[in-house]
Chains A and B, each alone.
Chain A
Amino acid sequence: MHPMVDSVLERAGDLMRILVVDDNVELAENVAELLEDEGHAITVAFSADQALLLLKEGADRTPCFDAALLDVRMDGMDGVELLGHLRRCCPSMTCVMMTAFSRDERLDTARELGARRVLAKPFAPDALLSALCDAA
């Protein structure tokens, strides 16, 4: 079972509460594990709908996440549309997009909506961490 929204760690130093959303289950889990190793508190969702549901369920109990890592192309609602929702409900959250399509036209929209960085898959852990830190 993945840590849910209510498993919030108190924010300590640079440690963040991060939402990871990717419909590639293994990649989402690996990204979570890499970030957990660094001490961050991770919540994983495997679709945009699941991410929104988690946010809704946790809304009365927990504040927003510090950051979100969103895959761009997902079945159903894509990462850019999800980004739009996240910006509305949690305007201070820093958002980083992940994509296997380095020249995706949706990335322009993502940047307009406030995505700070784009990670090109496959990415090294250093790139992942620096994207989150730079964006924060």
Chain B
Amino acid sequence: MFEEMARDIGFAEEHAELLRAAHPLVSPFFQEVVDRFYEVIAQNPEARAVFADESAIERQKVHLAGWLEGIFGGVYDEAYFERRARIGRAHVRIRLPQRYMFSMMNVVRVRLQDLLRREAIRAGWSMHEQQVAIAAVDKLLDMELAIMLETFHEDYMTRLRANERLASLGQLAASIGHELRNPLAVIDSSLHLLKRRVSDDARIAKHVDRIGQQVGRSNRIITDLLELARDRAPNRVVCDLPAIVEATVQDLEHKGVELTVDLDHVHGIWVDLSQIQQVVFNLVQNAIHAAQSKVQVRARHDDTDFFLEVADDGPGLTAEARARLFEPLFTTKTKGIGLGLWLCQRIVEKHEGTIEVDSQEGEGTRFVVRIPDVVRS
């Protein structure tokens, strides 16, 4: 896709080389471009309203600076396309109207070209080099815009289809889920009555426990199904992320899979406790199911965000599976209804975070959940 676009637009190796060469000249001044960009946004109330608060803008400034680095990164291939496509998806999530993509890309274009011209002259570049470099920025930003719009459209259509499917399924799932809770309540209470009367027979105790565990599991599936039908805003409280991870991971069976949990000491995270428990549970359980022998769970934070990483050494995902992973009712498991990751994504997005997957066939899978540290920043 990227190659085809580069060919059509006439972006050649010569352009790539000059952008690479310009990187050290312009990179010290990216902050100027970033600041100008957000000055323009601040002047437009409708564009400004896309951002929740000042801290959201500060976070986006960091992302924009990184994005500018990418433009002059010098390597433009399918991986670049993939990274840039993620940015397109991020714009769908914040519901940015597409017209802003054009107008704001133009702000970037004008500032970058001014900066490039100024610094190229200062560095003694020939007129030809200056012109090619300016044209390179033009062509690359056109491609960036095309990628953004393409991804925007793809993501939008996926969400639209998913919502249509879910509207009808949600009703059905909710009523079935509720109906199942009554028989589960009978099984569960019968089990407790039985427990009070069983002798010390180890086998009886084992099976009684097993029934109990499966009732719990069934109830969790129902809880997932019921989430289909409702759109609950997070009920946020300050929680201890490592404690959530530890408690959730403890409940998971991981026979034959080595589970490593690496928890940095992090301060309180402002989230919906049960929703985040559900995210941890679903991700770690999926990883255990997919793993050959190892699952690694890590919680950490940087200046602006909390991160939860869950990695397995399983067979990895095909390109198709990667693309459809977060669609409801899509599953790669033989046993599974395909709601877990979709729910995870919905929950994480309600916390203004992101969930990303990094996976190649044969090389395992890694999920990274990022949740902004809104208490502190």
Residues of A within 8 A of B (CB): 24, 26-27, 30-31, 33-34, 37, 100-103, 121-125
Q: How large is the interface on B (under 10, 10 to 19, 20 to 34, 35 or more residues)?
A: 10 to 19
In angstroms, Cα B180 to Cα A27, docked, is 13
Q: How many A-B residue pairs have CB under 8 A?
A: 46
Q: Which residues from B are CB-within-8-Å of A100?
A: 178-179, 181-182, 185
Q: Which residues from A are CB-within-8-Å of B250?
A: none
In angstroms, Cα B153 to Cα A34, docked, is 57
Residue of A nearest to B232 (CB): A103
A26–B188 touching, CB < 8 Å: no
In angstroms, Cα B184 to Cα A125, docked, is 14
Residue of B nearest to A102 (CB): B226
Q: Which residues from A are CB-within-8-Å of B185?
A: 24, 27, 100, 121-123
Q: Which residues from B are CB-within-8-Å of A103?
A: 230
Q: From the candidates A24, A33, A124, A125, name the one contacting B182 in the complex (CB within 8 A).
A: A24
Query: Mind listing 22 A-B residue pairs with CB under 8 Å?
Result: A27-B182, A27-B185, A27-B186, A30-B190, A31-B189, A34-B189, A100-B182, A100-B185, A101-B178, A103-B230, A121-B181, A121-B182, A121-B185, A122-B181, A122-B185, A122-B187, A122-B188, A123-B185, A123-B188, A124-B192, A125-B189, A125-B192
In angstroms, Cα B193 to Cα A34, docked, is 7
In angstroms, Cα B226 to Cα A102, docked, is 10
In angstroms, Cα B192 to Cα A27, docked, is 12
Q: Is B333 an interface residue (CB 8 A)?
A: no
Q: Is B219 an interface residue (CB 8 A)?
A: yes
Q: Which residues from A are CB-within-8-Å of B196?
A: 37
Q: Is B368 an interface residue (CB 8 A)?
A: no
